[in-house]
Amino acid sequence: MQKVDVIIIGAGAAGLMCAISAGSRGRSVVVMDHANKVGKKILMSGGGRCNFTNYYAEPANYLSKNEHFCKSAMSRYTQWDFIGMVEKHGIPYHEKKLGQLFCDNKAKDIVNMLLEECSEVDADVRTHCSVEQIKKQDEGFLLITSQGKWQCQSLVIATGGLSIPTMGATGFGYDIARQFGLKVLDTTAGLVPFTLTPHLLEQFEGLSGTSADSIVSCNGQSFRENILWTHRGLSGPAILQISSYWRPGDSVGINLFPDIDLLEHLKERQQSNPKSHLNGVLSETLTKKLADRLCELWFVDFYKKPLAELSNEQMAAVAEQCQSWQLKPTGTEGYRTAEVTLGGIDTDEVSSKTFEAKKVQDLYFIGEVLDVTGHLGGYNFQWAWASGHACGQYV
Ligand code: FAD
């Protein structure tokens, strides 16, 4: 039997940060992960460059049943704290857009940094370690693992959500929560592409790879970024963002001309260039391929006429369709490609200060396993760093 102060299950973003935070207080820490490598999601994130935080991270960027829950941890470990660690390790980075910070080189720089910090505080990080059983004892916990029996005073669950099961994601954290009588809210895939009906896919055939700067809205939320046609449906940052607010059966509103009043613009062009055609005017903003296709699909009755021959009603119909396009997805691509899991362990069950379960002394939950989900853009890692750091101060 081996004894330590703290066992953390899950060597991802939150688990490694928690190990650093607890280890720096002199606690003996073991991090156990069943995968063959630590931080697999960090390695694959941000297209291999890891969008590790965001200059503008704040509580408004998170979805949770309790919108206040994330505030305390986020104020105690901010994006500036994490940037400080990145700079201390001399890791080159840049802002790509909208405050999103990426490594100049590889996401591996972030994993190496976390492992170096773990090693500096003597935290023992183990891969290939499966936890078979967890038993509560009078003080702390007994764990039966593939690497023997362990006893610890504090047990931290940092096993993440369900997205990308091929990367080692499991429902382990939810199972442990249920084992100890904690409420787990329904989970769904977030930051995920939409799938479309076969009819719509046929209509959009050949547009795969086309994108358009748009405002996408659903359930009172709007995001302005690109949408991207794919061979399975619609993706791109604006679609991923709105997917976290979409529920089955909902329609999504899409404005393909976010910078102009399209009706006014068409009227102006009708005056200034009466011989021009609708697809030509639309392709001043959209790609020619997209403008041509949308005209064939939506305005087949009149788009071949010169603008001079279009009625006000026809131009109003064009503006309405292009600026308030209502699209009804059939679903999402699910956990297979989702970046995050919405829902999870009910934050009412956990202290927002320490992350200890209110009903179970010495048991802690951090990171994505909790019902806190960030927008796209480095916010999910910032939550992992902030919750991991806060918890590490108390275990
Ligand atoms: P994870 O990082 O998922 O770590 C959980 C760990 O627990 C894993 O190492 C896993 O192997 C381990 N584990 C699971 N089950 C068990 C078990 N039964 N026993 C032992 N160990 C177990 N967020 C951003 O902010 N910026 C990005 O650029 C970004 N890009 C992403 C790209 C992709 C493709 C994906 C899928 C996600 C991306 N995210 C990004 C989201 C981000 O990766 C997660 O929100 C974040 O990793 C959550 O951290 P975590 O520590 O809670 O969980």
For 286-290, what is the mean pLDDT?
Answer: 97
Same domain, 10 and 149: yes
For 135-160, what is the mean pLDDT?
Answer: 97
- Ligand 1 and 191: CB distance under 6 A: no
| pLDDT one-digit tens code per residue, 88-98 | 999 999 999 99
pLDDT at 165: 87
Residue 277 has pLDDT above 90, yes or no: yes
Same domain, 28 and 124: yes
CA 129, 23, 44, 331 dihedral sign is: positive
Q: Report the mean per-residue pLDDT for the chain.
A: 97
Same domain, 273 and 322: yes
Same domain, 199 and 274: yes
Residue 64 has pLDDT above 90, yes or no: yes
Residue 244 has pLDDT above 90, yes or no: yes
Q: Using the mean position of ligand 1's atoms as its centre, give its distance from the Cα of residue 387 in Å.
A: 14
For 290-308, what is the mean pLDDT?
Answer: 96
For 172-191, what is the mean pLDDT?
Answer: 98
Q: Using the mean position of ligand 1's atoms as its centre, give its distance from the Cα of residue 204 in Å.
A: 33
Same domain, 205 and 253: yes
Nearest-atom index, ligand 1, CA of 387:
52
pLDDT at 85: 98
Q: Which residue has the tokens 């090693």?
A: 119
Same domain, 173 and 203: no
CA–CA distance, 225 with 341 (Å, rounded to integer): 22
For 362-384, what is the mean pLDDT?
Answer: 98
- Ligand 1 and 256: CB distance under 6 A: no
CA 109, 111, 112, 116 dihedral sign is: positive
Q: Atom 36 in ligand 1: which residue has the minimum CA distance?
A: 339
Same domain, 214 and 280: yes
Domain end among 296, 312, 332: 332
- Ligand 1 and 114: CB distance under 6 A: no
Q: Using the mean position of ligand 1's atoms as its centre, give its distance from the Cα of residue 214 in Å.
A: 29
pLDDT at 285: 97
Q: Which residue has the tokens 């108390």?
A: 394
For 22-48, what is the mean pLDDT?
Answer: 97
* Domain containing residue 269: CATH number: 2.40.30.10
Domain end among 297, 312, 332: 332
Pocket-testing residue among 74, 380, 382, 387, ligand 1, by greatest number of atoms within 8 A of Cβ: 380
Nearest-atom index, ligand 1, CA of 40:
9
* Domain containing residue 31: CATH number: 3.50.50.60
Q: Using the mean position of ligand 1's atoms as its centre, give its distance from the Cα of residue 103 in Å.
A: 18
Helices (H), the chain: 13-23, 40-44, 71-76, 79-88, 108-120, 172-179, 198-203, 237-243, 262-272, 278-282, 288-298, 312-323, 379-392
Same domain, 38 and 56: yes
Share above pLDDT 70 across residues of the chain, in percent, rounded to a whole number? 100
Same domain, 308 and 358: no
**Count of domains observed in the chain:** 2
> Is 234 in a helix, a strand, or coil?
strand
Same domain, 264 and 352: no
Q: Cβ neighbours of residue 280 under 8 Å, at least 6 residues apart?
A: 291
Domain that holds residue 322: 193-332
Domain end among 286, 308, 332: 332
Same domain, 166 and 199: no
pLDDT at 168: 78
Residue 166 has pLDDT above 90, yes or no: no
For 5-9, what is the mean pLDDT?
Answer: 98
pLDDT at 167: 81
For 198-209, what is the mean pLDDT?
Answer: 96
- Ligand 1 and 35: CB distance under 6 A: yes
Nearest-atom index, ligand 1, CA of 384:
49
Same domain, 308 and 205: yes
ipTM above 0.85?
A: yes
